[in-house]
Structure 1
Amino acid sequence: MKQFLKFDPILKDKIWGGEKLKNLLNKTTDRNDVGESWEISDVEGDTSIVSNGALEGTDLKELISRYKGDLVGEKVFAQFAEKFPLLIKFIDAKEALSIQLHPHDDLARERHNSFGKTEMWYVMQADEKANLIVGFKEEVTSEEYKHHLENKSLTDILNIDEVKEGDVYFIPTGRVHAIGAGVLLAEIQQTSDITYRIYDWDRQDSHGNYRDLHTDEAIDAIDYVVKDSYRTNYRKQQNSSTEMVSCPYFTTNIVPITDVFSIDHSDKDSFVIYMCVKGNAMFVADNQKETLQKGETILVPNTLKHFSIHPLENTELLEVYIK
């Protein structure tokens, strides 16, 4: 199989969602509280469906069942079988998300029959003074954590960073985190929808209900390790693919392009995903062309090793695959 694959976005209304996915990323919706656009998903009940080419209307599960390693890579298929291993999103936080964390693989498997949820963020746009909560700012014990949680002073011990376009954060399982109000970002994560919500700013939904918290479940899952900085350092190099984050679950590179960029993925045994975070470009291979605009995502199957990317303006892409 050698077709560039695009999928219909799966839009998720959220109590904290806003209008940037519609207004800045051109997602088609008349709703004003869309918090997430699931670009590529194999989460049960939310399977992505191809929106282009000869395979239009085919869902991701059927694609993997039909094409196996030709689609995802032989090594990836051997490890994950017919489960696509990544969930790809754009997220708009008009209001702050809950303070939360995700369990590791073993805990998620034992409790939820699910993968864990290691993830990363790439900030696409941030309002003035918008922030992210990532990790603790000082050493604390579980007892001290519980004290602050009970006294609604949790933010006193958490690391809060003001952020701007281009900031990158890696969020391993167990790390406490929250997306602050005014942040639009791209998220790459393991295929999992398991979240332990530990504080939700005491807000209520339209019916006056509070969202569930997962206080007890989270205690065993929290990583209390403190880092000097949680922001990922990287350098952009024009017309080059530069690694930002690499872990056992995914590798993500930044690709800023101003000229025709030739791709050779013959060194990889994996699908490759491109998320357009700036500008727009044309993907060209053999007799096919596919446009990719800001806020869109494309999946390149494992068997499509050589193609070129033609920027139609200054363009930046996130390039995602499994090593």
Structure 2
Amino acid sequence: MELYPLKFQPLYKYRIWGGEKLKTELGKNYSENLIGESWEISDVNNDETIVIEGPLKGLTLKQLTKRFKGDFLGETVYTAFGNNFPLLIKFIDAKTPLSIQVHPSNEIAKSRHNSFGKNEMWYVMQAEKEAELIIGFKEDLSPKQYEQYLKDGKILDVMNHEVVSKGDTFYIPTGRVHAIGAGVLLAEIQQTSDITYRIYDYDRVDNTTGEKRELHNDLAKDVIDFSVHDTYKTQYNKTVNQSNTLVHSPYFKTNFLKVEGNITKDYSNLDSFVIYMCVDGNTQIEWKNDIFTLKKGETLLLPASIKNISLSSTSCELLEVYL
């Protein structure tokens, strides 16, 4: 059976801070309240996304990987990761702030949790006025000073706050303390990992449990990078109808691709799957005389065996992701 461009059924995740924008802004279909995350493509254990259309409908991401190997992932990717899909793709809606948190490196995550680390990036799709992200520190701190701020409940005072708007992009390597603020809708690309160390959570109570959420400060303290940077925001070009480098890291590569009219993409020199996240507008993707539609809030995976496609749109903005 031949591989083709694939869409997956998202997994909708309750979060104490979730809102309604995944439904109202991105057209997601669910009935639960406080849905904060839409896992678009996931190979996390017990949270594997499933193909929703075509001959491969019903197969999980893991089943696809095991069945098609290098044709699906790319030979180089399959050699590196085997049957483990390396990325987790999400849309996130924060009605209220996320906890202040940090993620462990590959080495620490492997030794402590038998997991990948969690290097990630954010692309802001929509933000309320004065909505912000918290990324890194704004002043030099020693670990001892950091612990005192934490003990006094004043950790927010030394965090770097960034007021954001549509298109703002941030890369968050492991060790960088961060949080999504209230009123932000974003696309998140990350390694396949669900390991988060929660540092501060506003002393709030989760109504589903009646208790405060667990903090992980003992685990976090030797993970944190205290380096201060001049800027945390990613600068990038937005040239129409070409792939503009957005975030190229050792763990994934993401480009910004704005489509106006008709373009062709040739992936002959790329030994990897490609993921399109539609962050604005809509587009039609043609492959072997088949048409696949992609609209804002949807995600499509091109298996590595697909090398040539055409895209057409009056105006569409995509994140193009690969290894």
Structure 2-normalised TM-score? 0.98
* 1:240 to partner: Cα distance: 0.9
CA shift at 1:2, angstroms? 3.7
Is it true that 1:226 corresponds to 2:228 in the alignment? yes
- Residue equivalent to 2:261: 259
- Give distance in 2, aligned partners of 1:2 and 1:64: 11
Deviations 1:67-117 (A, max 9, x none): 000000000000000000000000000000000000000000000000000
Taking the aligned partners of 2:52 and 2:263, their CA distance within structure 1 comes to 25
DSSP 3-state at the match of 1:106: helix
The whole-number CA distance in structure 2 between the counterparts of 1:144 and 1:261 is 53
Q: Which runs of 5+ in 1 are unaligned?
A: none
Q: Which residue matches 1:74?
A: 75
Kindly provide the amino acid, as one letter, of the partner of residue 108 in structure 2. Answer: L
Deviation per CA, 1:143-164, whole angstroms, max 9, x where unpaired? 0000000000001111000000
Corresponding residue for residue 245 of structure 1? 247
Paired position in structure 2 for 1:305: 307
- Unpaired runs of 5+ residues, structure 2, are none
Aligned ranges for residues 151-170 of structure 1 at < 5 Å?
Answer: 151-170=152-171
Q: Deviations over 1:279-322 (max 9, x none)?
A: 011110113211101000000000100010111x3100000000
Q: 2:293 aligns with which of 274, 291, 294?
A: 291
Secondary structure of the corresponding residue to residue 26 of structure 1: coil
Shift of 1:32: 2.8
Identify the residue that residue 137 of structure 1 maps to in structure 2: 138
Q: For 2:66, what is the secondary structure of its paired residue?
A: helix
Aligned to 2:94: 93
Offset of 1:208 from its aligned partner? 2.7
- Return the letter of the residue paired with 1:192: S
Residue 63 in structure 1 maps to residue 64 in structure 2: yes
Match of 1:268 among 257, 265, 270: 270
SS of the residue corresponding to residue 314 of structure 1 reads strand
Instruction: Give, in whole Å, the separation in 2 of the partners of 1:251 and 1:134.
Output: 20
> 1:18-33 counterparts in 2 under 5 A?
18-33=19-34
Report the secondary structure of 1:152's partner residue. coil
Give the corresponding residue for 1:319: 320
Rounded to whole Å, the distance in 2 between the matches of 1:105 and 1:30 is: 36
Equivalence map 1:109-188=2 (5 Å): 109-188=110-189
Describe how 1:203-222 pairs up with structure 2 within 5 A: 203-206=204-207, 207-222=209-224
Between the two proteins, the alignment pairs up a number of residues equal to 321
Instruction: Specify the code of the residue in structure 2 equivalent to 1:211.
Output: R
Task: Write out the 4+ residue segments of structure 1 that deviate beyond 2 Å after TM superposition.
Answer: none
Task: Kindly provide the amino acid, as one letter, of the partner of residue 220 in structure 1.
Answer: D
Q: Secondary structure at the match of 2:9?
A: coil
- The Cα offsets for residues 8-52 of structure 1, whole Å up to 9 and x where unpaired, read as 000001000000001110110122311000000000000010011
Q: Residues 1-40 of structure 1 correspond to what in structure 2 (within 5 A)? A: 1-40=2-41
Deviations 1:136-185 (A, max 9, x none): 00110000000000000001111000000000000000000000000000
Q: Which amino acid aligns with 1:72?
A: L
**Deviation string, structure 1 residues 185-205 (Cα, Å, up to 9, x no partner):** 000000000000000011001
Q: Percent identity of the aligned residues?
A: 55
Cα distance in 1 for partners of 2:306, 2:250 equals: 23
- Aligned counterpart for 2:281 among listed residues 279, 282, 288: 279
Task: Please give the root-mean-square deviation of Cα atoms over the aligned residues, in Å.
Answer: 0.7
- Tell me the amino acid that sits aligned with residue 54 of structure 2: G
